[in-house]
Chain A
Amino acid sequence: MSRGAQLEAFLARVPFAQTLGMRCEIHGDEMTAVLPFQDKLIGNAAIKALHGGAIGSFLELTAMAQVFLLTELERPPKTIDLTIDYLRSGQAEDAYARAYVTKLGRRIANVRCEAWQAARDKPIATLHAHFLVQQRSDGAASP
């Protein structure tokens, strides 16, 4: 099974990824995540804007997926910290995201991620995060 297929199979088993309703379009080691619009993603019913937490979750999952794609991890990488910048309010429409692994270290990955809607050059939010990518086998910490 290709790493992309493994990622898809993995996401299908993560309940929260299903709750969010995101999917990944994978082309080799490149991936675009898609978040189809659903009413439940709304944070402000008055102005029909996406919830900041829904956008943040989408960015975080996209970043995790990209790390998963580039590594041989069996479990999802653990988030250490993340910063989300909200640039525009998320409209009631589909959103897309791409993540870039700035540095993949032995233990820690530094990742940036960007989400947009109608126009790629008008991002709605960006994320900067660190993930723990240390492999664990037999429950013990690996080198």
Chain B
Amino acid sequence: MADAEKPDHLEIMKTFAHQMINVVPWAKELGFELTDVERGRVFGNLTWSEHLLGDPEAGVIHGGVVTSLLDNLCGAAVVSAMTEFQSTATLDLRIDYMRSSEKGRDIIGEAECYHVTRTVAFARAWAYHDTRDKVIATATGAFALNDPKRWSSGLSRAMSKEGKA
């Protein structure tokens, strides 16, 4: 991957990072956003909220919310690793839950794309409150790389239509 080449779509991703929730309704519903985008690595934040709880007494956010965050971040990390824009689809995703999230605290998500082939990319992700040393959950997944001609224009359309704030 030639870093010297201008990764146009990476700049677009960085610019639109905070707008992701406008083109991803489920992210908006759950209240998570992309906070930082680098080549092959992205960060996100999930705001603690009552409507996300799996165990209302303990105030613990449901695992499905963490799955949604990490799936989304892995996909974004894969896209950010490309030299040219390509859409991706999750092939599989494995989540390991290490500990419960703490009541009232936001969850930080971090994902990296660690290998890319012509057709598939591999990514892993972490969810935590403070640092990666004390993770809430980890994820690892394989992502199919789609033909960009199929709908990349559709995404740009959606971004220009709904992405402006």
Contact = CB atoms under 8 A, between A and B. Distances in A.
Interface in A43-99: 43-47, 50-54, 56-58, 60-61, 75-76, 78-86, 89
Given A46-B155, A60-B63, A84 B25 contact: no
A14 B29 contact: no
A24 interface: no
A41 B26 contact: yes
B25 A41 contact: yes
A45 B50 CA distance: 26
B68 interface: yes
Interface residues of B, number: 41
Contacts of B24: 42-45, 51
A38 to B, nearest CB: 9
A50 B61 CA distance: 21
A39 interface: yes
B92 interface: yes
Interface stretch (A15-23, A26-34, A102-110, A115-123): A15-23
Given A43-B24, A46-B155, A86-B91, A15 B71 contact: no
A14 B62 contact: yes
Tell me whether chain B's interface is mostly helix, strand or loop, or mixed: helix
B71 A52 contact: yes
A53 B154 contact: no
Contact of A15 (B25, B52, B154): B52
Interface stretch (B8-16, B35-43, B93-101): B93-101
A57 B158 contact: no
Given A13-B56, A45-B24, A56 B93 contact: yes
Given A42-B25, A57-B65, A76 B54 contact: yes
Given A60-B63, A83-B93, A14 B53 contact: yes
Interface in B1-50: 23-30, 50
A37 to B, nearest CB: 12
B154 A47 contact: yes
B162 interface: yes
B97 A78 contact: yes
Contacts of B104: none
Interface in B93-128: 93-97
Max chain B Cβ within 10 angstroms of own Cβ: one of A15, A16, A18, A51? A16
16 contacts: A14-B55, A15-B52, A15-B62, A44-B23, A46-B23, A51-B72, A53-B64, A53-B72, A56-B64, A56-B68, A57-B65, A78-B97, A79-B95, A81-B97, A82-B67, A86-B90
8 smallest CB-CB distances across A and B, nearest first, come from A53-B68, A57-B64, A46-B154, A51-B26, A16-B62, A40-B29, A42-B25, A15-B53
